[in-house]
Amino acid sequence: MKLGEIARKLNCTLQGPADLEISGVSGIEEASETELTFVSNPQYLPKLKTTRAAAVILSKGDKAPIPALISDNPYLTFAQAVELFYSPPTPIPGIHPTASLALSACVGENASIGANVAIGAGVRLGKNALLYPNVTIYPHAQIGDDFIAHSNSVVREYCQIGNRVILQNGAVIGSDGFGFAPRSDGSFYKIVQSGIVVIEDDVEIGANTCIDRASIGETRIAAGTKLDNLVQIGHGCRIGRHTIIAAQTGVAGSTQVGNQVVLAGQVGIAGHLKIGDRVIVTAQSGVGHSIEDGKKVSGSPEMDSTVWKKNYLLMQQFPELVRTLKQVKKDLDELKQKLESA
C-alpha cells in the first residue's frame, strides 16, 4: 500500500513521497526497510536515527528524519494502521448445524454461530453476533449487538451484556459468587447466588477471567472497561467506566472501583472497599483500605506510591543503619565509662 493512501485512510498529514510502498507496520526496533513504524512517546524519538523503517507516524511538531505521517494521536493511528495490513479469518455466516439453540432463544440478524455452541431458553442475542465453537450461553441471558464470544467462553443465566462486548477464550460471566454461611457444626451452607452480572457497552473480558454473579442484586462492569486474562472479580463488585485491569488481578466481593482506574498485574483488592476515580495501583500491590480519587498506591499493604518508593530506598540502607547504630552504642558506652572512671 502506498504511503499516500495510508495517510488518506488514517486522516494524517503526509510528509514525504506519496508513492512510497509500505508492506506492513512494526515496532521501531523491529521494522524492516519497507515497514511503517510509530513514535508516541517522545523518549523514543532518538531511535528514529537508527530505525530501518521506511516511514513513521509522529505527533505534530516532532521532527522526522524519514518520511512521516503526522497525527494528533500517533498510537491510535498506529492501531488503525495495523488493521490496514491484517485480515483476520472471515467468520462463517449462519448457524452451524451442530449448534444447539433452545426454541425460545432469539438470535439477531447476520449472526455467525459456531460448531457446538449451546444457547439456552429465553436468550436474546442482538445482531452481528459472532460466537466461536463451544461457547455456552445459559438460559435467559440478554446480550446486545456486535457480541464476540471466543471458544469456551460462558455467559451464565440471566446475565445482561451490552453492545460491542468481547469475551476472550474461557472467560466466565456469572459464575456463582463465593458465599457460604457457616453452620454450628463447622460445615458451610451454600448461599444461592441469585444476582446477575451486568456488562455494559464496549467492555472486553480477557481469557479465563472470571466475573462472579452477585448473591443479591448485581455485579457490574461499566462501559469501556477492559479486563486482561485470569482476572477475578468477586460477587457484588462494581467496576467503573474506562478502567484497565491487568492480568491475574483479583477484586474481592462488594468492592467498588471507580472510573479510569488502572490496576496493574497481580494486584489484590480486599472486599467492601471503595477505590476512587483515576486511582492507579502498581503491580502486585495489596489494597486493604478504600482509596481517594486520583491517588497512586503501591505495596502490600498499600501506601502512597511516593512514600513506598522512599521507604524502599531507605530499606536499602538498612544494613548500613544497623552497623551505624551498633557503632553509636559502642561509642556512647565507651564515653560513659571514660567519664565515670575520670
Q: List the catalytic residues.
A: 235
Which residue, 19 or 185, has its beta carbon nearer to a second copy? 185
Q: Does 293 bind a second copy (CB under 8 A)?
A: no
Q: Does 128 bind a second copy (CB under 8 A)?
A: no
Q: Of 167-196, which residues contact a second copy (CB under 8 A)?
A: 168-170, 172, 175-176, 178-184, 186-192, 194
Q: Which of 56, 112, 138, 261 binds a second copy (CB under 8 A)?
A: 138
Q: Does 116 bind a second copy (CB under 8 A)?
A: yes
Q: Which of 26, 51, 59, 160 binds a second copy (CB under 8 A)?
A: 26
What span, in angstroms and rounded, lies between the C-alpha atoms of 5 and 116? Answer: 42
Q: Does 67 bind a second copy (CB under 8 A)?
A: no
CB 215 within 8 A of CB 237: no
Segment (H or E) for 280: strand 280-281
Q: Which x/- pattern, by CB under 8 A, does the window 195-224 give for a second copy?
A: -------x-x-xxx-x-x--xxx------x
Contacts of 241 (CB under 8 A, 6+ apart): 200, 222, 223, 224, 225, 259, 260
Residue among 90, 96, 214 nearest 160 (CA): 214
Amino acid at residue number 254: S
Q: Of 31-60, which residues contact a second copy (CB under 8 A)?
A: none
Q: Does 76 bind a second copy (CB under 8 A)?
A: yes
Amino acid at residue number 336: K
For the bound state, the minimum distance from the C-beta of residue 297 to a second copy, rounded and expressed in Å, comes to 14
What span, in angstroms and rounded, lies between the C-alpha atoms of 218 and 168? Answer: 22
Q: Which of 28, 118, 239, 281 binds a second copy (CB under 8 A)?
A: 118
Amino acid at residue number 181: A
**What does residue 3 show for φ and ψ, rounded to 5 degrees?**
-60, -35
Which residue is listed with cell 472501583?
Answer: 257
Residue among 277, 245, 248 nearest 260 (CA): 277
Q: Pick the stretch among 7-15, 52-60, 78-86, 103-111 that binds a second copy (CB under 8 A).
A: 78-86
